Structure 1
Amino acid sequence: MSNTHHFDVVGSFLRPANLKNAKAELEAGKITELQYKAIKQNAIRELVEKQKKAGLHYITDGEYNRKFWHLDFFWGFDGIAHQKDGGGVQFAGEVADLEATYLVGKIRVRPHPFVEDFKFVKSLESDGHEAKQTIPAPAQLFQQLIVPQNIETTRKFYATNDELIEDIAYAYRGVIRQLYDAGCRTIQFDDCTWGAIVGDAAAQRYKSLGLSLDVVKNQLLHVNNLAIEGKPADLQINTHICRGNYHSTYFTSGPYDSVADYVFARENVNTLYLEYDDERSGGFEPLSKVSADKVVVLGLITSKSPKLEDKVTVIARIKEATKYIPLERLKLSPQCGFASCDVGNKLTEEEQWAKIALIKEIADEVWG
């Protein structure tokens, strides 16, 4: 994120009603894939115009091209299958309706469907606006494949986590190269693994797999850095760290203290987008571990609720963060996207844009 732009969004936007309706019609067989694509591309054009009007530097497709922020990307690799099995992941007070995603072979890269989607957004770039691509972090795929319900299947193809990490990193390098060749110069990893491992349940979850948390943290760091290794010098890779965002609920709570020595200090990314919208995130002290070459985007505005934050309070919190990171290396954003999955968070499109307007207003006041 260039230093002249001090505010951003994480990437996903609420799906407009006409797009949701079109998707339902497609699933019911009332319209063709081609008709749906035309409606979707039109919705993305309109969204990009709104992003430009809101003063955002980065433009995205709002993740309109996928159902889930992470799973659809994984399905673009060979060796990965999925099915709707009625299961899901327990969030605070709600079960996230996700699709089972698992291995059916070795992970291999092929022409990734996200690349064509990116080319469309790239074609909508104009002066002062750059298309960025959001994808789940390599660590997210690694975690997906070693969770208790998947580990048995994963072991049929990978005897060790080290072999799995090698193939994930290699496949990601392939997609990173495809995106780069399509003109992409900013990629954002979305990563819930660090947010999940700070939670109370993480020790139990990994203990059942015979792994200590320190071993897992090293593996998460290793798979992300291995995927980034050898990237083109002019390609920015940023990361967004999250504790879960589904229909305005969260997955886990806990401060960054226990992961700061790994991801803040040693992950080879340019920018950290950090969730800091409520007390679940802890204090700013772990920011002292952020390496001097990184920019930090403070997610002080929540995307989970329509209530507008108090400007004075947000500005005071930015000032507090400057004890650890100089102001010129800080930026402002929501803590997460507005619709990590199709279902979206519990606010209206108008309320979503009001949040973004507030972020810009604060950024203008703080950074000028």
Structure 2
Amino acid sequence: MSTTFEQAKPRTETPFRHDIVGSFLRPEALKEARRKFRDGEISSAELKAVEDREIARLVGKQKEAGLRAVTDGEFRRSWWHLDFMWELDGVEKAVADKGYPFLGAETRAETARLNGKIGFTRHSFVGHFKFLKEIAGEDVVARQTIPAPAQLLAELQRPENQASTEAIYGDAGELVSDIAKAYKAAILAFYEAGCRSLQLDDCTWGMLVDQGYRDGLRRQGIDPADVAELFARVNREAVAGLPADLIVATHVCRGNYHSTWASSGGYEPIAETLFGIDGVSAYYLEFDTDRAGDFAPLRFVKEDRQVVLGLHSSKFGELEDKEAIVGRIREATKYVDLDRICLSPQCGFASTEEGNVLTEEQQWRKLRFIKEIADEIWSRS
């Protein structure tokens, strides 16, 4: 394949030219161990031993696929977001009225609900990161993924959680402030554990672009722009004043559950607000289907920030057309210099432990394919 792209500079820090969002399909051995643990057939120590073994194997496979930043695949989690929230002070696991709605599907009915003021004391994820960093070694970057502060705010504002949230926080400003403080403390704990690449996963923006969702807010007398500003505020406050050598990226998604999706719409309605949040170095953006709109909103991305184009779908195993991907990258350069572009799937392969509908081999083949395209465009940058 030949391109007319000019040579871009090599990437020496995250995100890299070919990258991942974070989660991977759970291997059968891990699924079986988690089932046995839930049924009381094995101890937590025995489950951890299986998790450790499978994460070590996963890191090895990521290296074999040529990835320069690796994650633990979220192998110790059931959800991409709730498991993190449940361990914050003042937050508890609760049964929801219903699961999250997706196209033709509904998730398990679980949520995070308040039982006190939000804070951060300790978190098992910090120990999980230490294990990842140790087994990753010095030749790759160990990346930590957690749900964005705005995601917790949105969870606490779900209709079934509204009463408990308002009972503890009569003032929305205090709620936002406490979420931001707890997150900052958590992020600094990861930093002390050696983390230098942190990713905030955030579906709130993916919902705010959906016209149906925006219309629903308006029917309640709520201006979507005010919601966007509140989400931006809590994210901004959480990442303000962090160490200069900590790279913070954010990932925006429109839903990723068992190969289905939850919302549609281009970034234009929220682009100026989203891309205006200080303290973020890169954006992992969903662009694998027409549901994500065109690239024009990228004109709002500041010149010191990277854009990771999620042009490949993690929802199915078939490989995309190479020339079509190259053409879309070329189209994106109308708004963002090639030097500021990277390539990845639009989301992880298993945002929940159920995973998307493809095989592990298809998962790895897709990542090798992304590397192949990135190597040819950026000359092994």
Superposition TM-score, scaled by structure 1 size: 0.97
Q: 1:81 Cα deviation (Å)? A: 1.1
CA contact (8 A) 1:12 1:340 kept: yes
Q: Structure 1 residues 236-245 or 259-268, which shifts more? A: 259-268
Q: 1:160 Cα deviation (Å)? A: 2.0
**1:321 aligned residue:** 332
**1:27 aligned residue:** 38
**1:59 aligned residue:** 70
Matched residue type, 1:16: P
Q: Tell me how far apart the structure 2 counterparts of residues 130 and 37 of structure 1 sit (CA, whole Å).
A: 23
- Taking the TM superposition and a 5 Å limit, the aligned residue runs for 1:1-368 are 2=13, 5-85=16-96, 87-207=98-218, 210-368=221-379
Q: Tell me how far apart the structure 1 counterparts of residues 74 and 128 of structure 2 sit (CA, whole Å).
A: 10
Matched residue type, 1:304: K
Q: 1:345 Cα deviation (Å)? A: 0.1
- Once the two structures are superposed, residues 74-121 of structure 1 have per-residue CA deviations (whole angstroms, 9 ceiling, x without a partner) of 011111111335620111110111413211111011111110000000
Is the partner of 2:217 in helix, strand or coil?
A: helix
Q: Tell me how far apart the structure 1 counterparts of residues 170 and 215 of structure 2 sit (CA, whole Å).
A: 22
Q: Tell me how far apart the structure 1 counterparts of residues 36 and 97 of structure 2 sit (CA, whole Å).
A: 22
Is the partner of 1:265 in helix, strand or coil?
A: coil
Matched residue type, 2:360: E
CA contact (8 A) 1:304 1:345 kept: yes
**2:8 aligned residue:** none
Matched residue type, 1:342: E
CA contact (8 A) 2:240 2:278 kept: no
Q: 1:3 Cα deviation (Å)? A: 6.9
Matched residue type, 2:361: E
- Once the two structures are superposed, residues 47-96 of structure 1 have per-residue CA deviations (whole angstroms, 9 ceiling, x without a partner) of 00000111111111000011000000001111111133562011111011
What is the count of residue pairs matched by the alignment?
Answer: 368
Q: Structure 1 residues 209-218 or 103-112, which shifts more? A: 209-218
Q: Tell me how far apart the structure 2 counterparts of residues 208 and 154 of structure 1 sit (CA, whole Å).
A: 22
Q: Structure 1 residues 241-250 or 146-155, which shifts more? A: 146-155
CA contact (8 A) 1:92 1:251 kept: yes
From the superposition, tell whether residues 209 and 111 of structure 1 become closer, same or farther in structure 2 (CA, over 3 Å): farther
Q: Tell me how far apart the structure 2 counterparts of residues 84 and 156 of structure 1 sit (CA, whole Å).
A: 18
From the superposition, tell whether residues 7 and 75 of structure 1 become closer, same or farther in structure 2 (CA, over 3 Å): same
Provide structure 2 residue ranges, at least 5 long, that are not aligned to the other structure: 1-10
- Once the two structures are superposed, residues 132-176 of structure 1 have per-residue CA deviations (whole angstroms, 9 ceiling, x without a partner) of 000000000011111222112110011122111000000001101
Q: CA RMSD in A?
A: 1.4
Q: 1:328 Cα deviation (Å)? A: 0.8
CA contact (8 A) 2:16 2:69 kept: no
CA contact (8 A) 1:87 1:100 kept: no
CA contact (8 A) 1:272 1:296 kept: yes
Q: Structure 1 residues 125-134 or 36-45, which shifts more? A: 125-134
Q: 1:206 Cα deviation (Å)? A: 3.1
Q: 1:14 Cα deviation (Å)? A: 0.1
